[in-house]
């Protein structure tokens, strides 16, 4: 090689030749990749939406069950409070009856002791 031929190689402009078929093929590949990615993203969103719906439905069922349980426990609490109040009232009545009976017993014992003659002391 001579200096002239190499100088011609280094001084020549670089040109990229564009082929219309290659450009069309690249656009087609790009569109296909974008369509596949969009389809994957759509399917993923659809699956996530279905999962969220199932989760929401499960939580609603659980919430309904918990509300039922709370209503049952509130009813039990009211029954317990009413029972406690009734028992307190019964205890008070029985205490009053015991006091009355003790008073009557003391009276009867006092009457019995009054009629007795005291025993002689040696």
* Domain residue spans of the chain: 20-112
The Cα diameter of the chain in Å comes to 166
Residue-level pLDDT at 114? 81
CA distance 22 to 27: 9
Over residues 73-89, the pLDDT tens digits come to 999 999 999 999 999 99
Over residues 3-40, the pLDDT tens digits come to 666 666 666 666 555 678 888 889 999 999 999 999 99
Mean pLDDT value across the chain: 86
Over residues 59-73, the pLDDT tens digits come to 999 999 999 999 999
Residue-level pLDDT at 94? 96
CA distances from 31 to 23, 28, 82 (A): 12, 5, 75
Residue-level pLDDT at 57? 93
Residue-level pLDDT at 2? 64
Give the predicted TM-score (pTM) of the model.
0.47
């Amino acid at each position: 090689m001579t200096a002239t031929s190499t100088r011609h190689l280094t001084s020549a402009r670089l040109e990229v030749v564009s082929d219309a078929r290659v450009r069309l093929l690249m656009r087609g590949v790009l569109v296909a990749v974008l369509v596949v990615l969009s389809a994957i993203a759509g399917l993923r969103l659809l699956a996530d939406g279905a999962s969220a719906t199932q989760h929401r439905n499960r939580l609603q069922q659980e919430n309904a069950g918990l509300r039922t349980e709370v209503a049952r426990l509130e009813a039990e609490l009211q029954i317990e409070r009413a029972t406690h109040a009734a028992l307190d009232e019964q205890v008070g009545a029985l205490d009053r009856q015991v006091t009355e009976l003790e008073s009557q017993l003391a009276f009867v014992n006092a009457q019995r002791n009054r009629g007795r003659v005291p025993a002689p002391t040696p």
